[in-house]
Structure formats: C-alpha cells, structure tokens
Amino acid sequence: MSFTVPDDLRYLDSHEWVRVTDDSARIGISDFAQDELGDVVFVDLPSEGDDLTAGDDFGVVESIKAVSDIYSPVSGTVTAVNDDLADRPELINEAPYGDGWLIEVDLDDENELDDLLSAADYEDQIA
C-alpha cells in the first residue's frame, strides 16, 4: 500500500505535517496516519489564541479503535481551528492534506522548520 506524501510539506516522525504560507502554518496528520487510525470519529483541538510548543501534544484524534495524541511540529499561537471536523471528523480520512486539516498557527520561529523531515525523509520513515 502506498501513501500520499506531498513534496511541499514538512513532517514530524509522529506523522503530523505542516504547510507554511507567508508566516502562517497549517497543521494536519498524514495520509499514512489516517490510514493507521482508521475511521476518525472525534477530534479534540485547541482554541484560537492558545500557545503551542514544538514537539508537545496539542490535541487528540480518535478513531473507533484508537486514541492518538497529536504533536505540534512548530511553536506558535493558534490562529484558526478547522471547525468542520466537529461534525465531519471523517474529513481527516477523506482529505488529510486538504479539508481534513486541523489548525493554523502563527509561527514563533521559522528556523524550527529546519528540524522537520522533508517529504523524502518522511517517505523513507513510513516505507
């Protein structure tokens, strides 16, 4: 089975991705992660204005069979939360890099991005 790993994203080894545009960063979980979890039925996300620290857990994604902590690839302040997931958590299964995104943050330090995995490195990890 092969999984989608978009080139333009950076990854954590715990299967979160971050997409940086200007100084905002969108965070989600990878195609591999959603497949491992199976049907996502619930998400617990922070609120706008909450501060995140790179490497710390900031929420939970639950499937029927498992509860999984999600970790922040970067430090920053939450500027947006994907409210659609409250009613349609299955968006994470359907479009993990699209409508199934989790949160957006205002980055504290862009240099943190250098510590993350490239698409090629992440692909090696899940191979």
Residues engaged in binding another protein (CB under 8 A): 1, 38-39, 41-42, 44, 60, 62-65, 67, 86, 93
Grouping H, G, I as helix, E, B as strand and the rest as coil, residue 92 is helix
Q: Is 44 or 109 the residue whose CB approaches another protein more closely?
A: 44
Distance in angstroms between the alpha carbons of the first and the last residue of the chain: 10
Smallest separation, CB 11 to another protein (Å)? 23
CA dist 52 → 2, 30, 92, 101, 125 (Å)? 31, 19, 21, 16, 25
Q: CA 95 to CA 112: how far, in whole Å?
A: 26
Q: Is 50 or 108 the residue whose CB approaches another protein more closely?
A: 50
Q: Is 76 or 89 the residue whose CB approaches another protein more closely?
A: 89
- Regarding beta strands 57-63 and 24-29, do their DSSP bridges make them parallel or antiparallel, or are they unpaired? unpaired
Q: Is 15 or 26 the residue whose CB approaches another protein more closely?
A: 15
CA dist 85 → 93, 108, 117 (Å)? 11, 26, 26
* Spatial CB neighbours of 83, under 8 Å, sequence gap ≥ 6: none
